[in-house]
Amino acid sequence: EVQLVESGGGLVQPGGSLRLSCAASGFTFNTFWMHWVRQAPGKGLVWVSRINTDGSSTSYADSVKGRFTISRDNAKNTLYLQMNSLRAEDTAVYYCAMGVSERLNRWGQGTLVTVSS
């Protein structure tokens, strides 16, 4: 069974940093692209970033470009999102998702990031 378990969320001050993790199991992690998607409280889904199978290619939404870095450790079956220079508007539930071609096939349960002083 495919499982994606996010962790690392919490309360952080504006300007601070946080690293999210997504532990994957139940599938061959190193053969799938992976994504991060976020959802602010009471708001819609927003795509954040994606990474290819070996980590050599990444893409970002304009709103996080230069501040967030996506990476993966295929030996540990884990996806990461390093978030720097955090702003109040980054407050959201962050989901990791498994990509198959153009679609996000399976999603984790999400981890909440709150940016506030």
Partner 1 sequence: SYELTQPPSVSVSPGQTASITCSGDKLGHKYVCWYQQKPGQSPVLVIYQDNKRPSGIPERFSGSNSGNTATLTISGTQTMDEAEYYCQAWDSSTGVFGGGTKLTVL
Residues of this chain that interact with partner 1 (CB under 8 A) are 35, 37, 44-47, 50, 59, 61-62, 95, 101-110
Nearer to partner 1, 23 or 61 (CB): 61
CA distance 35 to 13: 25
**Beta carbon of residue 44, minimum distance to partner 1 (angstroms, whole number):** 4
Nearer to partner 1, 27 or 47 (CB): 47
Beta-carbon contacts of 101 under 8 Å, excluding residues fewer than 6 positions away, are none
Distances (CA, A) of 88 to 37, 54, 83, 109: 17, 32, 13, 22
Nearer to partner 1, 24 or 37 (CB): 37
